[in-house]
Amino acid sequence: MSEPIVTTLDRDAVRILTVNRPDKLNALNRQTLETLDQAFAAAATDAAVRVVVLTGAGAKAFVAGADIAEMNRLTPPQGRDFSLLGQRLMQRIERLPKPVVAMVNGYALGGGLELAMACHLRVAAESARLGQPEINLGLIPGFGGTQRLLRLAGRAAALELCLLGSPVTAARAFELGIVNRVVADAELEAQTLQIAEQLARSAPLALRGVLDAVLAGGECALEQGLEFETAQFGLLFATEDMREGTGAFLERRKPRFANR
């Protein structure tokens, strides 16, 4: 029986999704993209899941890119369809109503970096290498790399990574704002899960409000973003979790959020 392309492991309210093609450095072919899309769709609707952690199998790679052997055979229409498939997955992750944390081990190149950037938070091992090397293949990033790099790290960094095609260290990626934290390789899993577990204890509706507000604000003018934030803020006053959170603060105890 063959190994699953994406494995799922639940640790209380944290779901760990692992791209499981270590012999291919977890490269993203069409089947892997479709399987990941299904896995994130399932996580979105599972009430028991409050946080998703995404990583790659093996010590060498988070995801080393798209599957070049598969891409080499594509026609222009097929290439466009492959890009749209990848972008649909990235948008599903970015718009997931629950926090997604990328646990970046080893190489996160091309589609791998695009996958990590679609996640809400990124924790990288010191040995990780991140980049958009598509220029070396006669291509450009096709799963949102030019756009998310621009938004995360700015024009200069986006052009540097996409034009030169050279990977950067995790420390450099942190300096550019591409990753949130860099930790020792041996501490990567523990540190990432600590963040995920903290998120899982937070109020789910408030987490979703933050995700929605930041996503919306990044695509509109400041005034419109502020209006959206105010609307979200007001809606949370109708939740039991808001009463529990404020009540627990006043009573000097830890809150018990129920996602209501």
- Render pLDDT for 148-164 as a digit per residue (tens, 0 to 9): 999 999 999 999 999 99
Q: How far apart are CA 93 and CA 147, in angstroms?
A: 15
Whether the predicted pLDDT of 1 surpasses 80: no
Across 14-28, 40-54, 180-194, 217-231, least confident range: 217-231
Residue 151 sits at the vertex; the CA angle it makes with 226 and 179, to the nearest 5 degrees, is: 110
Sorting pLDDT into bands at 50, 70 and 90, what band is 260? confident
| Other beta carbons within 10 Å of 166 | 13
Ramachandran bin of 125, using left for φ above 0, alpha for ψ from -120 to 50, beta for the remaining angles: beta
What residue spans define the domains of the chain? 6-200, 203-251
Q: What is the DSSP string of 177-226?
A: TS-SEEE-GGGHHHHHHHHHHHHHHS-HHHHHHHHHHHHHHTTS-HHHHH
* Structure tokens given for 96: 């997931």
Ramachandran bin of 138, using left for φ above 0, alpha for ψ from -120 to 50, beta for the remaining angles: left
Helix, strand, coil content of the chain in percent (nearest 5): 55, 15, 30
Check residue 94 and give its pLDDT.
97
Residues 6-200: name the CATH superfamily: 2-enoyl-CoA Hydratase; Chain A, domain 1 (3.90.226.10)
SS3 call for 135: helix
Instruction: Provide the 8-state DSSP code for 116.
Output: H
- Render pLDDT for 235-248 as a digit per residue (tens, 0 to 9): 999 999 999 888 88
According to CATH, the topology of domain 203-251 is Lyase 2-enoyl-coa Hydratase; Chain  A, domain 2 (1.10.12)
Residue 178 sits at the vertex; the CA angle it makes with 209 and 200, to the nearest 5 degrees, is: 35
* Structure tokens given for 24: 């291919």
Q: How far apart are CA 120 and CA 106, in angstroms?
A: 19
Check residue 134 and give its pLDDT.
96
Q: How far apart are CA 215 and CA 87, in angstroms?
A: 16
Percentage of the chain beyond pLDDT 70 is: 100
- SS3 per residue for 68-93: HHHHCCCCHHHHHHHHHHHHHHHHHH
Confidence (pTM): 0.94
- Render pLDDT for 178-230 as a digit per residue (tens, 0 to 9): 999 999 999 999 999 999 999 999 999 999 999 999 999 888 899 999 999 99
For 132, how many CA atoms within 13 A lie in the half-sphere containing its CB?
27
Check residue 259 and give its pLDDT.
86
Across 5-19, 62-76, 163-177, least confident range: 62-76
Q: Which of 114, 175, 227, 251 is catalytic?
A: 114
Q: Which of 34, 94, 126, 134 is catalytic?
A: 134
- Render pLDDT for 89-139 as a digit per residue (tens, 0 to 9): 999 999 999 999 999 999 999 999 999 999 999 999 999 999 999 999 999
Residue 114 annotated as catalytic: yes
